[in-house]
Structure 1
């Protein structure tokens, strides 16, 4: 299989490209950085240095089996221009008799809304409030242009590409992703703090388990086109328990009362508000159709390991 990973030097894209290469596939990795291109080459990933919207990589389209898009689609209109450009190039460059080129898009679960404990979310739960204006909304669509649900539908309904959507939950591992915000705050201020209020839950997935899902999705792309796969551990993390465990690891002195050495703070922008989204997620399609199961330690269980990995990533 010949695969192209867009955003191959990123937190999601790099382990995905590594996993594909280790599975025996020929992998191209798009990056904007010459320096990061060397890192890809060391991993036996063929680097393509360009902006993802560039047409300079389109000559690969006739022979590719799959494109895996791990870019951050921050503006749906700009992103859809990129996607339609790929569609157009595929239509003109790819032999008419060939199978559809598979296109795997990385989205997220925030468009499903802040459901709390009211609704268990699965791979096939509809986006009940795609405009981001209802009482359960995360306000992503109207405030930060992260209207990924609209992008998802364009990809899934494409008549030119074989569209598939992967929705990761909160990512952890190595440099920390979103959790690096808490780690860095502790390094600078000596305080353990997290967004929101006590009593919450965290739905999470390790970047390596997500990478494994991309490999399995790419391998069976021709028979799973048009589907959405949520990438999440089988159980949610208790936010208070996660923070207590971190206090134990870094030896923060306990405080009187329920705080126990940690504190919560109010979000200051829409992105931070989105992080506080409460969702109970139970995906089933990846397990049923792809035999996918997360293998890495959960965030709290492996927190000392993940904290040390973060420190190594910032001190190298």
Structure 2
């Protein structure tokens, strides 16, 4: 398949591109300027805020589109981007896979939520559920539209756990927001990349899939592992919310303190997804060299 990937140079995007190539698919990268990539790499040049460039990128030879870009923060711009990317897919049955995230569910309590649970988005992702619905609505127009909601992504030294290692180095101890009982649904970036391949090749139109390999990782244990990865002894302490908000911004601090337990079993059962990379605490304890 020939797959157009937006956000291909980012943390998740780089892993996704590698997995598509490993499965024998051809990746066409959508980039703002082609000078960032190696000579000869197939690209389409444009901008997420330029619908005309998005429409022009989805040519008839493109078999699927994967949108991994970070939302702009402007709902109208992101909605227009969805419309532009799906316009030329209409009636073709070709796949459009859009990236959202588990923060749209809000706080979950102790019962693992699946994809049928209602959304209750926190401020940092406030309008994302409406974008999800805009994507899924294209299914009735003959687009094989799929929404993937990754958990907190780790691996390769990146993601929020990578930030936590940096915070532990800075403060001399691991830090977490909320209570020691706070949990995060998590997934290794390479396992998540495999899910995107499956979403493109196997998922039904109108699917919502949680990219979650570990339903609820205790954040206090994660902070302790981050301290160990930073060269410490595995200590962790609460990060007062007002201090965290000052350091990283109130919306992000709220997200970091969110207690969630989320199931990713739908992808396992329906698509045969098999997450196999090391558990996050194991990986961080080894220096996060995954």
TM-score, shorter chain, exceeding 0.5 = yes
Tell me the equivalent position of 2:18.
Answer: 18
Q: CA deviation at 1:81?
A: 0.8
Is 1:204 the equivalent of 2:186? yes
Q: CA deviation at 1:53?
A: 4.1
Tell me the equivalent position of 2:207.
Answer: 227
Is 1:240 the equivalent of 2:239? no
Tell me the equivalent position of 2:195.
Answer: 213
Match of 1:264 among 220, 239, 252: 239
Distance 1:33 1:175, change over 3 A: farther
Tell me the equivalent position of 2:46.
Answer: 50
For structure 1, list consecutive stretches of 5 or more residues without a partner in the other structure.
Answer: 133-137, 255-259, 310-316
Distance 1:234 1:186, change over 3 A: closer
- TM-score, normalisation: structure 1: 0.80
Q: CA deviation at 1:177?
A: 1.3
The alignment's C-alpha RMSD in Å is 2.4
| Counterpart mapping for 1:1-316 below 5 A | 1-34=1-34, 36-38=36-38, 46-54=42-50, 55-56=52-53, 58=56, 60-73=58-71, 74-90=73-89, 99-117=92-110, 119-127=111-119, 129=120, 132=121, 138=122, 140=123, 144=124, 146-158=126-138, 159-221=141-203, 224-252=204-232, 260-266=235-241, 267-268=244-245, 269-308=250-289
CA distance, structure 2, for counterparts of residue 220 and residue 302 of structure 1: 30
Distance 1:235 1:62, change over 3 A: same
User: Which range is displaced more, 209-218 or 269-278?
Assistant: 269-278
User: Which range is displaced more, 274-283 or 260-269?
Assistant: 260-269
Which of these two proteins has the greater Rg computed from alpha carbons?
1
Distance 1:35 1:174, change over 3 A: farther
Tell me the equivalent position of 1:313.
Answer: none
Verify the 8 A CA contact 1:253 1:261 in the aligned structure 2.
Answer: no
Q: Deviations over 1:223-273 (max 9, x none)?
A: x1101000111442222222333344445368xxxxx45343314101220
- TM-score, normalisation: structure 2: 0.86
Tell me the equivalent position of 1:257.
Answer: none
For structure 2, list consecutive stretches of 5 or more residues without a partner in the other structure.
Answer: none
Q: CA deviation at 1:37?
A: 1.7
